Amino acid sequence: MNKFLLHLEGVAVFICCIYGYYYLEYNFWLFIIFLFTPDIAMIGYMMNRKVGAIIYNMVHTYVLSIIVLLFGFITNIEPLMIIGLIWTAHIGMDRMFGFGLKYPTQFNDTHLNRV
pLDDT tens, residue by residue, 8-59:
999 999 999 999 999 999 999 999 999 999 999 999 989 999 999 999 999 9
Maximum Cα–Cα distance for the chain, whole Å? 42
Residue 100 pLDDT: 80
Identify the band that residue 90 occupies on the pLDDT scale cut at 50, 70 and 90. very high
Q: How far is CA 53 from CA 27, 57, 100, 115, in A?
A: 32, 6, 11, 15
Own/partner pairs for 70-79, CB < 8 Å, 24+ apart?
78/26
Residue 95 pLDDT: 92
pLDDT tens, residue by residue, 62-75:
999 999 999 999 99
Strand partners, 114: 109
**Average pLDDT, stretch 78-92?**
98
The helix (run of H) or strand (run of E) holding residue 109 is: strand 109-110
